Amino acid sequence: VLDDFSGNTLMGPTVPNQYRNVKTGKVILKKHTIIGADSIIFPNVTVGEGTAVGAMSMVKESLDDWYIYAGVPVRKIKPRQKKMLESENDFLKNINS
């Protein structure tokens, strides 16, 4: 939920929706994503598979798979390694045997 701070409407969780201009939408976190503490993800954003978002980042648009992002607003830092996929396979084999 994202309130309108323009001054054209009232805002806050105790104000009835008819007096607010609120943007809502899904946030989709794909497999193997990690979001750092105190990060803000805007509505209608998909965080791609294997993507890492650094702490205190602001994500306003969807992010590509397997990259590390950080900042306000986020910027692409570098590709993220996929070695965890091998560890995931080993883990699943061990718990299922």
Q: Are 2 and 43 in contact (CB under 8 A)?
A: yes
The residues facing 69 across adjacent strands are 53, 76
pTM confidence score:
0.84
- In this prediction, residue 2 carries a pLDDT of 80
Q: Which of 71, 54, 51, 78 is nearest to 63 (CA)?
A: 51
Task: Tell me the pLDDT of the chain (97 aa) as tens digits.
Answer: 788 888 899 988 899 989 999 888 999 999 999 999 999 999 999 999 999 999 999 999 999 999 999 999 999 999 999 999 999 999 999 998 7
**Domain 27-95 part of CATH 3.70.10.10:** no
- In this prediction, residue 4 carries a pLDDT of 82
